[in-house]
Structure formats: structure tokens, C-alpha cells
């Protein structure tokens, strides 16, 4: 019994050391708290949370490797007007899609919105579209990206952004790079 405690203590000490190792500036950590709430951030997760690296910056500045979640979906950060949210990569989505609430938080002005109807898996929906001059997907700055704003939409990173990028599947990971 005593040796089991020592092994457990050693494992905890080793895991504790990893808490203090620096995370690369472009890595994205998924931090799950005991109550089940999830945060995504570019700094190490706080003590008492479980951590998983969701996106890894390689030594190459033009690549970003994304790990799939348990539903085989890939997520990374989306930054507009200095506000960063987590978005799901969706190659079936025509546009980057934001909810009205997220667009408001990102200070997207309601001026010059173009009304459109989009066909989705759930039928036709009305959107208000806007051209965003600069947005950031992960660590990549993209220019002149059309964004669709809809009520209650999840944040999706669609082809209006992804068309400016190359993406490939490598060993079950999604690797993004700039064209």
C-alpha cells in the first residue's frame, strides 16, 4: 500500500511539473473544469482543470495542426476586431457564420449588411452578411472574408475563410496553412 502511495505521489509531482511548462504562443488549450464547463485559451489551463491541446503550432510559422474532439470535429480561434472566440471548422459552410450575440461582441457594425437567404441542412435561413476586411483564423490573418450573421448560430469557420487556406488530414489531425 505504501508503494502505491509513493507511485501516486510521483505521478502527481510529474503532472504538476507539466503545469508550469510553457505552452507555445499559438497552441490552443481546451480546459475542462470540474463542473463540466469548457474554456479555450492560448495559455496553460488553470490548476484543477483537465487540459487538452486542441491546436498545436509547429516549428513552421505557416502551419497549424488541429486535433479532433470526441465528435471528430476541429475547432480553433476566430478573431475579428480584437475579439477572439472559438469556432468549428466546417468545410460544408459557405461562410464564416456568427450569431447576432457574437457579432455584437466582436463589434461588427450593422451598417452595410446584405440580406441573403442560405440553404442549410435544416432548410433556408435568412442572414445578414458583411465583408470583414481582416479576420484571423488561428494564427493566420485573412483578408476580405464574407461573414454571415444569423440568430442563434454556432460560430462556424466556413469556406469564405478556408478558401484562402490549404488544409490536409495528417494522421487524424487537420493541418491548416496559408495559400
Give me the residue label for grid cell 457579432.
103
**At 161, phi and psi to the nearest 5?**
-100, -45
Q: Which residues sit opposite 98 in a β-bridge? A: 149
**Domain count along the chain:** 2
Q: What per-residue confidence (pLDDT) applies to 44?
A: 75
What pLDDT is stored for residue 51 in this prediction?
Answer: 66
* Rounded average pLDDT over 9-16: 34
Query: Which of these, 59, 74, 27, 93, lies nearest to 170 by C-alpha position?
Result: 74
Instruction: Determine the structural domain holding residue 131 and report its residue range.
Output: 62-179
Residue 49 has pLDDT above 70, yes or no: yes
Residues 72, 100 share a domain? yes
Dist CA 1 CA 27 (whole Å): 39
- Domain harbouring 103, CATH code: 2.40.70.10
Arithmetic mean of pLDDT over the chain: 80
Least confident window among 43-52, 69-78, 96-105, 163-172: 43-52
Least confident window among 12-21, 80-89, 129-138? 12-21
Residues 88 and 138 in one domain: yes
The number of CA neighbours under 13 Å toward the Cβ of 131 is 4
Considering the domain architecture, whether residues 81 and 9 belong to the same structural domain is answered as no
Q: Choose one of 14, 42, 57: the last residue of a domain.
A: 57
Amino acid at each position: 500500500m505504501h508503494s502505491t502511495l509513493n507511485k501516486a505521489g510521483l505521478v502527481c509531482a510529474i503532472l504538476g511539473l507539466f503545469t508550469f511548462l510553457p505552452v507555445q504562443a499559438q497552441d490552443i488549450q481546451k480546459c475542462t473544469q470540474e463542473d463540466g464547463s469548457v474554456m479555450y485559451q492560448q495559455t496553460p489551463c488553470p490548476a484543477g482543470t483537465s487540459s487538452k491541446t486542441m491546436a498545436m503550432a509547429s516549428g513552421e510559422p505557416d502551419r497549424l495542426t488541429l486535433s479532433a474532439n470526441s465528435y471528430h470535429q476541429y475547432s480553433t480561434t476566430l478573431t475579428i476586431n480584437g475579439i477572439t472566440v472559438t469556432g468549428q471548422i466546417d468545410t460544408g459552410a459557405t461562410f464564416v457564420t456568427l450569431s447576432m450575440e457574437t457579432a455584437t461582441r466582436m463589434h461588427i457594425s450593422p451598417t452595410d449588411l446584405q440580406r441573403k437567404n442560405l440553404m442549410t441542412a435544416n432548410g433556408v435561413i435568412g442572414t445578414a452578411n458583411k465583408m470583414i476586411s481582416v479576420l484571423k483564423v488561428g494564427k493566420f490573418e485573412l483578408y476580405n472574408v464574407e461573414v454571415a450573421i444569423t440568430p442563434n448560430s454556432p460560430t462556424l469557420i466556413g469556406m469564405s475563410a478556408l478558401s484562402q487556406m490549404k488544409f490536409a488530414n495528417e494522421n487524424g489531425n487537420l493541418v491548416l496553412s496559408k495559400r
